[in-house]
């Protein structure tokens, strides 16, 4: 290791010890937008280590293809979405330029960095820039063709995020439509492209930009009278459900209700200008905590029951170089020293300040004897299941413990967890804490491999 991790302060660990762990049993996946319009952010390497070891966040979205950040997330398993800046869209309609772009920005990092999606531009339709809007879909198609030529199209999706400004109307949700002119010209071919490439429609619903004093409780998922949709006879209890169902209704009207929806950005600032009601740390914490509980619950929305939504909170950090009102610079959930601005239950309780073995500056390495990470005797099944969900949820290769895999039998939580924990330990830097798993793992020098089931040891 040729860098020294400045890592986080001790106070961080004291805080971590008392925070809740998010239940990792469900399908929803919590991501963050890693915006970098700030001059005080920690080095990407440190951010990657922090997200991986200290939070349950397993997805990030970048607003560009910053090579330093992409490098920092190599071998973390964290799913990374990158963005093509708006001004590059017209030029990428040319297939040879698109191929060059993939070869310059994606191929140097893939697959060690788990790049799963390329977003072409950001809220392009809302820019009302005709050149960008006209070239958006051709650029997406060229990039997809370039991925096909590189045999990456099954691993990397192409999409583009939209603001709710693409809808004409969203009250009640069932009446929503895409804006006239854009519906047939842009959205229809776009949705058709997304369907044919099995890619999601990405929207940025911001209840923060939709609430008034009267609808604050509705926006914050608090108890409230709700919004009744006369046409569908469905009751909406929160603004996000209403926004998502508006998007769904608009898609449905064009015949694309089957295309998956991803929440590309959503958040609430913790500080605003003096006259702003509902903008403070407690409210931001309440919104984001309720948001995670909501998208993680598997409840879905009135028109999309039982669906889960891949969700990216805006944002990882406060960004002090953004312009506009104070709130624009204060959407972050972490400070630049990686301490949380507020608790939304996404920190992992893996490390405790009292834990004597924990010392991030002296990893266990250099020994020539091989080591594996296995389950500790007496560890509870529930905790072991959580380990499986965590490791496999990171995108590490869990195929051997899936049905038909070489390590599927014995089909027990304990055996599968042992495999997953070792996989994680070997993929990480083999620090002792990479095998801690909340005190359910231990390191051994005895090879746990059996039959055709191989436990790797690097
Ligand atoms: C695409 O770009 C290449 C390289 O810049 C150029 O030679 C080619 O003529 C362009 N193709 C079209 C159709 O514009
Ligand atoms: C949603 O889940 C519930 C409970 O599992 C089930 O009864 C219902 O049929 C599901 N609805 C849909 C549309 O899948």
Residue pointed to by tokens 């390590």: 407
Element (H, E) at 177: strand 177-178
Residue 350, pLDDT score: 55
Residue 57, pLDDT score: 94
Q: Give me the catalytic one of 27, 49, 214, 265.
A: 265
Which residue's CA is minimally distant from atom 3 of ligand 1? Answer: 96
Name every residue whose Cβ is closer than 8 Å to that of residue 134 and which is 6 or more positions away in sequence. none
Query: What tokens appear for 339 in the block?
Result: 């301490």
Residue 26, pLDDT score: 38
Which ligand places an atom closest to the C-alpha of 91?
Answer: 1
Q: Give me the catalytic one of 27, 49, 123, 214.
A: 123
Output the CA torsion 21→26→28→32 (10° steps).
20
CA-based R_g, the chain, Å: 23
97 Cβ below 6 A of ligand 1: yes
SS3 107: coil
Q: Which DSSP state fits 185? A: I
Pick out the chain residues at pLDDT < 50: 1-28, 351-367
d(CA 19, CA 276): 29
301, 302, 306, 308: residue to mutate for ligand 2 pocket, most atoms within 8 A of CB = 306
- Pocket of ligand 2 from Cβ distances under 6 Å: 305-306
Give the Å distance between the CA of 310 and the centre of ligand 2: 19
Question: Is 123 part of the annotated catalytic residue set?
Answer: yes
CB 448 within 8 A of CB 400: no
Give the Å distance between the CA of 299 and the centre of ligand 2: 9
d(CA 25, CA 31): 16
Confidence (pTM): 0.74
Residue 315, pLDDT score: 97
Give the Å distance between the CA of 307 and the centre of ligand 2: 10
Which residue's CA is minimally distant from atom 1 of ligand 1? Answer: 94
Element (H, E) at 53: helix 44-54
Ligand 2 atom with the smallest distance to the CA of 300 is 1
- Positions of E strands within 277-395: 311-313, 372-375
d(CA 241, CA 165): 17
Give the Å distance between the CA of 138 and the centre of ligand 1: 14
d(CA 207, CA 243): 8
Burial of 229 (0-12, 13-18, 19+ CB in 10 A): buried
The percent of residues in the chain predicted with pLDDT above 90, rounded, is: 68
Write down the domain spans for the chain: 10-57+160-329, 372-444
257 Cβ below 6 A of ligand 1: no
Residue 144: name the closest of 178, 192, 77 by CA.
192
Q: Give the architecture (CATH level 2) of 10-57+160-329.
A: Alpha-Beta Barrel (3.20)
Query: What tokens appear for 33 in the block?
Result: 């937008």
d(CA 78, CA 81): 10
CB 265 within 8 A of CB 35: no
Residue 436, pLDDT score: 87
d(CA 80, CA 32): 10
94 Cβ below 6 A of ligand 1: yes
SS3 202: strand
SS3 3: coil
Which ligand places an atom closest to the C-alpha of 300?
Answer: 2
SS3 136: helix
Element (H, E) at 375: strand 372-375
Residue 18, pLDDT score: 29
Which residue's CA is minimally distant from atom 10 of ligand 1? Answer: 94
H helix runs in 106-227, sequence order:
124-127, 130-149, 182, 188-196, 216-219
Give the Å distance between the CA of 95 and the centre of ligand 1: 8
Q: What angle do CA 102, 103, 104 make, to 5 degrees?
A: 95
CB 199 within 8 A of CB 153: no
């Amino acid at each position: 290791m040729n860098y020294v991790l400045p890592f986080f302060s001790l106070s961080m660990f004291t805080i971590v010890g008392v925070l809740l762990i998010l239940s990792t049993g469900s399908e929803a996946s919590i991501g963050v937008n890693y915006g970098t319009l700030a001059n005080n952010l920690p080095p990407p390497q440190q951010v990657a280590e922090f997200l991986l070891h200290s939070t349950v966040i397993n997805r990030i979205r970048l607003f560009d293809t910053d090579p330093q950040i992409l490098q920092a997330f190599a071998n973390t398993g964290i799913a990374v979405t990158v963005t093509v800046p708006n001004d590059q869209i017209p030029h990428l309609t040319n297939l040879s330029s698109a191929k060059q772009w993939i070869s310059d920005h994606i191929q140097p990092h893939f697959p060690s960095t788990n790049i799963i999606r390329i977003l072409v531009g950001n809220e392009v339709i809302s820019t009302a820039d005709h050149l960008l809007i006209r070239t958006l879909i051709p650029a997406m198609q060229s990039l997809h063709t370039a991925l096909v030529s590189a045999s990456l199209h099954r691993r990397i999706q192409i999409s583009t995020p939209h603001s709710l400004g693409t809808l004409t109307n969203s009250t009640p949700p069932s009446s929503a439509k895409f804006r006239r002119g854009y519906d047939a010209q842009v959205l229809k071919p776009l949705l058709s492209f997304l369907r044919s490439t099995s890619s999601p429609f990405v929207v940025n619903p911001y209840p923060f930009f939709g609430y008034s004093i009267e609808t604050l409780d509705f926006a914050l998922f608090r108890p409230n009278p709700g919004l009744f949709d006369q046409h569908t006879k469905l009751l909406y209890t929160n603004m996000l459900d209403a926004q998502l169902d508006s998007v769904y209704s608009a898609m449905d009207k064009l015949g694309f209700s089957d295309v998956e929806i991803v929440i590309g950005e959503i958040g609430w600032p913790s500080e605003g200008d003096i006259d702003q009601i509902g903008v403070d740390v407690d409210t931001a914490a309440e919104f984001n905590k309720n948001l995670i509980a909501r998208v993680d619950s598997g409840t879905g929305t009135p028109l999309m029951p039982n669906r889960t939504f891949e969700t990216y909170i805006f944002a990882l950090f406060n960004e002090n170089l953004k312009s506009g009102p104070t709130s624009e610079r204060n959407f972050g959930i972490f400070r630049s020293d990686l301490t949380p601005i507020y608790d939304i239950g996404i920190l992992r309780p893996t490390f405790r300040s009292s834990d004597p073995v924990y010392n991030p500056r002296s990893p266990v390495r250099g020994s020539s004897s091989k080591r594996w990470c296995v389950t500790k005797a007496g560890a509870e099944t529930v905790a072991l299941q959580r380990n499986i969900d965590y490791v496999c949820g990171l995108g590490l290769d869990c195929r051997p413990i899936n049905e038909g895999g070489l390590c599927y039998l014995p089909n027990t939580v304990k055996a599968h967890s042992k495999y997953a924990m070792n996989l994680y330990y070997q993929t990480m830097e083999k620090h002792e804490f990479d095998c801690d798993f909340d005190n359910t793992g231990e390191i051994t020098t005895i090879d746990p491999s059996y039959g055709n089931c191989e436990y790797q040891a690097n």
